[in-house]
Amino acid sequence: MIGGGGRPALLRRINETTVLARLHQAGPLRLGDLSDRTGLSRQTVAQVVASLAGDGLVEYVEAGREAPRSPGRPARLVRLRPDAAHVVGIDIGPHRTLVVVADLTGRIVAEDRGDSSRLRGPDEMLAHVRARVRAALSRGGVARETVRAVVAGTPGIVEAEHGVVVKAPDMPGWTSIDLADRLRPGFECPVMVENDVNLAVLAERWRGHGRDAGIVVAVQWGGRVGAGILVGDRLLRGAHGAAGEMGFLPGGGGPPVGAAPFGPFERRVGTAAIAELAGDDASPEDPGAATLTAAAAGDPAALEVVDTIAARFAEGLAPLVLILDPDLVVIGGGVVRAGPALLDALGRHLRDRTLVRPALALSALGDRAVALGAARLALDDVERRLFTVRS
Amino acid sequence: MIGGGGRPALLRRINETTVLARLHQAGPLRLGDLSDRTGLSRQTVAQVVASLAGDGLVEYVEAGREAPRSPGRPARLVRLRPDAAHVVGIDIGPHRTLVVVADLTGRIVAEDRGDSSRLRGPDEMLAHVRARVRAALSRGGVARETVRAVVAGTPGIVEAEHGVVVKAPDMPGWTSIDLADRLRPGFECPVMVENDVNLAVLAERWRGHGRDAGIVVAVQWGGRVGAGILVGDRLLRGAHGAAGEMGFLPGGGGPPVGAAPFGPFERRVGTAAIAELAGDDASPEDPGAATLTAAAAGDPAALEVVDTIAARFAEGLAPLVLILDPDLVVIGGGVVRAGPALLDALGRHLRDRTLVRPALALSALGDRAVALGAARLALDDVERRLFTVRS
């Protein structure tokens, strides 16, 4: 509610933000309800809505239908235009890339998948990513000017505040890269960078299993192993952006941490270790896939491998559970193909290793978790800027 | 700032809270400054201050002196009366108890230490604690009616929300005890219960090494091992109040977690293990004390024991650092007697086990950390109630 005072331009801006915030919070509203809920006069609300409609931010829809206004029918409700703003979420990985474009309501309006496994070095990777973003925007019919925030997820240690990738052992040359800066050209909006597993846990909170849990851990378990940790609504990034680095937990000997690209724990439990256990070397590009799929189909030998690898995994999950006592651990990544048998084995082997037990779940987001989390983080940023009334 | 409307009693209450909050925030103020900062008229402020002074909550002091008003001298500044409210912080342990009484400014006005090692069961412990609280209040000349919050710290898994101790393996009978309820008689204020290491980390933030760090871990390392974790201003308690249970980290074999009172990690590194390593069995009540003290004095054999135990400890600290990436780890408890040599050895053995390194420090709070943290948590509660203006 705005009393007198303040310069007219500032006041108009505050009134617009107030109206947008109410529509975001409450959904479509009649002009009168909007007046009641904002404390602005009916006349002011009508002016503000007209101005926002002129900027393409709101539109009139018919009550009960919430479809765009048809000519000649009475307009009833004001709503935010879903296409008033878009965000781009990008998953940059050593083998593949995924770009998702979402509208202001969070609906995914376009996706694009790319193969990054044959790219050599950061320049080729960045050119590839820019091309995939262009393709996704074009497929969704989204004008670049409506993109209000971009978030890219990458493996490795990320200084999210500055958008810099400090190091990412399995991405050649992907070291001390100002990724946000390199992605920024062509966008008139904030471009941010975040660690991939941190984005995966945001996606679990948004569209996965973690909607109601207090402390959620999303473990990505594929060729490598890492965890994103959400405490309430807050990512636990760590002092150096290195929280959740489960892959470097001790176990099984080998070179000291930092001297090898893979950590001791991920060497023991990653998909390459699964393939080795199974004596399965048919698919070097997707190791362990055959065994995991066979386990899901009930193959006894494959189930034995899954049990062995789950026992090893419990050795590393136990310290995480003892230290964080999470409500929920969601397992994502390539191992998810083994299905419920993996979860059963994991729960069984964890039992005698911890004082309390978190709920365990398999991610239902597949390989879209990182890109979806990136879109969610971008939406958070857009919502903060569009809908926050500063006093 | 309060416009019109609202019932007079509610309005007066809001004005009083506003004045108290400003004085808490800014320290002693002239009436005119108080009027400026609250947006209340000078006349209203004078009325509110008179009413609060009548209730014993504020007083006039002379500018530049901030001593209580002397008769016949002009009063200048209004301040909160430090003795307007007190809090009681209690550390309940299997061997000793410590009660601290603090005033509204956080100054410790009285302490009382007790020996709990010969008490049998919860009833004797509770009678002992009540007597120690009485002794501390009496020593400080503090009237029980001015106590506005009580917090008790205890080992074990605590449901802080309900004030219930779920289990505490080294406290006989201290299982499923509604400790808050048992301590409440005789107090007209909130009585709360919290895990001891959680209180220790609050004390490090308040008066120890953790004032400016983002993620602070306070490890208590004595006969047992546990950690309190602070992320910003928020305790990481865990889903079941069991976060930071480092003592149950794996290592060295032994019975499964939960089947024995001590965890695998604390069996390997606790003070009993130190005494065993040193071949020192002279002091069963304070094992390892002689060796730790000798190490601090530079004794080569004792330093070798400290190095060995630090190497073992680094095996358990590494998972915590890999998962949380804390800014600072403060080591407290009996081992602190070994001094800087312990810290050096720990840093050396941690080096090849983690990707990034937290700052390490020895606690300077001695055995007062838990009781001080309890007083701090109680003060937080009092401040929230006294100084928060609800709109």
**Which is it for the CA torsion A361, A365, A370, A373, positive or negative?**
negative
Residue where the block lists tokens 């820019």: A130
Residue where the block lists tokens 């606690």: B363
Q: What is the pLDDT of residue A391?
A: 47
Domain match, B150 and B33 both: no
Q: Are A49 and A58 in contact (CB under 8 A)?
A: yes
Domain match, A44 and A147 both: no
- The predicted model gives A187-199 an average pLDDT of 95
- The nearest alpha carbon in chain A to B316 belongs to A319
- pLDDT tens per residue across span B111-128: 999 999 999 899 999 999
Cα separation, A3 vs A128, in Å, equals 52
Residue ranges of the alpha helices (H) in chain B? 8-26, 31-38, 42-54, 121-140, 179-183, 196-207, 264-269, 271-278, 289-296, 300-324, 340-350, 369-387
Domain match, A279 and A306 both: yes
Q: Of A80, A105, A121, at which residue does a domain stop?
A: A80
Confidence of residue B313 (pLDDT cuts 50, 70, 90): very high
Domain match, A297 and A228 both: yes
Domain harbouring B70, CATH code: 1.10.10.10
Domain match, B305 and B223 both: yes
Q: Cβ of A322 and B258 within 8 Å?
A: no
B2 assigned to some structural domain? no
Give B315's contacts in chain A (Cβ within 8 Å).
250
Rounded (5°) CA angle A91-A97-A99: 60
A266 assigned to some structural domain? yes
Domain harbouring B282, CATH code: 3.30.420.40
**Residues β-bridged to residue A359:** A328
A247 to chain B, closest Cα gap in Å: 9
Q: Of A45, A80, A115, at which residue does a domain stop?
A: A80
Domain match, B309 and B375 both: no
Give me the helix-helix angle, B42-54 and B31-38, nearest 10°. Answer: 110
Q: Are B224 and B332 in contact (CB under 8 A)?
A: no
Q: Are B283 and B289 in contact (CB under 8 A)?
A: yes
pLDDT value at B105 more than 50: yes
Residue where the block lists tokens 């006989």: B172
B391 assigned to some structural domain? no
Residues of chain B whose beta carbon is less than 8 angstroms from a beta carbon of chain A are: 157, 213-215, 227, 229, 231-232, 234, 236-246, 248-250, 256-259, 315, 318-320, 322-327, 352-356, 358
Could you say which DSSP state residue A68 is in?
B
Residue ranges of the alpha helices (H) in chain A? 8-26, 31-38, 42-54, 121-140, 179-183, 196-207, 264-269, 271-278, 289-296, 300-324, 340-350, 369-387
Asked which of A5-19, A83-97, A232-246, B350-364 is least confident by mean pLDDT, the reply is A5-19
Domain match, B159 and B31 both: no
Q: What is the pLDDT of residue B283?
A: 67
- The nearest alpha carbon in chain A to B320 belongs to A323
Domain match, B248 and B333 both: yes
Q: Cβ of A323 and B245 within 8 Å?
A: yes
DSSP output for B242-282:
-TT-GGG---S--SPTTSSSS-HHHHHHSHHHHHHHHT--S
- The nearest alpha carbon in chain A to B249 belongs to A319
Confidence of residue B2 (pLDDT cuts 50, 70, 90): very low
A304 assigned to some structural domain? yes
Q: What is the pLDDT of residue B62?
A: 83
B224 to chain A, closest Cα gap in Å: 15
Q: What is the pLDDT of residue A42?
A: 93
Q: Is A203 in a helix, a strand, or coil? A: helix
Q: Are A300 and A331 in contact (CB under 8 A)?
A: no
Residue where the block lists tokens 């990412």: A168
Q: Which residues contact A11 (CB under 8 A, 6 or more apart)?
A: A2
Number of folded domains that form chain A: 3
Domain match, A27 and A113 both: no
ipTM rounded to 2 decimals: 0.89
Asked which of A57-66, A80-89, B64-73, B354-363 is least confident by mean pLDDT, the reply is B64-73
- pLDDT tens per residue across span A251-287: 766 677 776 778 999 999 999 999 999 987 666 778 8
Give the pairing type, strands B29-30 and A191-195: unpaired
- pLDDT tens per residue across span B128-181: 999 999 999 999 999 999 999 999 999 988 998 889 998 887 788 898 999 999
Give the pairing type, strands B157-159 and B164-167: antiparallel
Domain match, A57 and A95 both: no
Cα separation, A175 vs A177, in Å, equals 5
B62 assigned to some structural domain? yes
Interface A–B counts its CB contacts (< 8 A) at 133
Confidence of residue A388 (pLDDT cuts 50, 70, 90): confident
A335 assigned to some structural domain? yes
Confidence of residue A170 (pLDDT cuts 50, 70, 90): confident
Structure-token pair, residue B120: 């049998």
Nearest to A177 by CA among A197, A196, A157: A157
Cα distances (angstroms) measured from residue B281 to each of A237, B271, B328:
44, 11, 34
Residue B164's domain comprises 86-199+370-386
Q: Is A22 in a helix, a strand, or coil? A: helix
Domain match, A62 and A134 both: no
Residues of chain A whose beta carbon is less than 8 angstroms from a beta carbon of chain B are: 157, 213-215, 227, 229, 231-232, 234, 236-246, 248-250, 256-259, 315, 318-320, 322-327, 352-356, 358
Q: Of A63, A80, A97, at which residue does a domain stop?
A: A80
B3 assigned to some structural domain? no
- The predicted model gives B268-296 an average pLDDT of 87
Give the pairing type, strands A225-231 and A234-235: antiparallel
Q: Are A95 and A155 in contact (CB under 8 A)?
A: no
- pLDDT tens per residue across span A300-338: 999 999 999 999 999 999 999 999 999 999 999 999 999
A318 assigned to some structural domain? yes
pLDDT value at A9 more than 80: no
Domain match, B140 and B160 both: yes
